[in-house]
Amino acid sequence: MVDDQLGVRSLLVSIFRDDGHEVKMAADGTQALQLHRSFKPDLILLDMKMPRMDGIETLEKIQVSDCRVDVIMMTDYGNFQNMEQVKDLGILHYINKPFDVFNLKDQVNEILN
C-alpha cells in the first residue's frame, strides 16, 4: 500500500489486515522501493500522485525487478492520459479516488484469488 495520505494508508491497512492479508505501507515511491526489496508483495495498491517520485515512476522501477506483481493504481487526478500511461505499463486495474472500500476489497480479493 503506497499513498502519501496517512489517512488513506491507515484505513486500507486496517481493512486488509482485518481480512487476513499481510500488509506493509509506504508514504512515497522511495519508501515503496526500499520496502519492495525486503517484502515481495502479491499485489501493490499504488497512488499515482505522490511527492518526490510519482506512481508511474515508482511502478517502472518496481517492474525492473518484479514484472509479474499485480498493481492497482489509485488516483484522484484521473484523466485519459494517465490511464493510457498506466495501460502502457501493463496495469489493468485503475481506480479513482474517492473509491468505494467495498468495491476495492472485492477487486483485491478477485486479483489475489
pLDDT digits (tens, 9 = 90+) for 15-49: 999 999 999 999 999 999 999 989 889 999 999 88
Judged by DSSP in three states, 93 sits in strand
What pLDDT does residue 4 have?
94
Full set of structural domains in the chain with CATH:
6-108 (3.40.50.2300)
Determine the Cα angle at 61 with ends 58 and 65, to 5°.
Answer: 135
pLDDT of residue 51: 87
- In this prediction, residue 79 carries a pLDDT of 59
Name the pTM for this structure. 0.88
86, amino acid identity: V
> Residue 43: what are its φ and ψ, rounded to 5°?
-150, 140
Q: What angle do CA 36, 37, 42 make, to 5 degrees?
A: 40
Cα 74 to Cα 99: distance, rounded to the nearest angstrom: 9
* CA distances, 113 to each of 9, 40, 42, 43, 66 (Å): 23, 17, 11, 11, 19
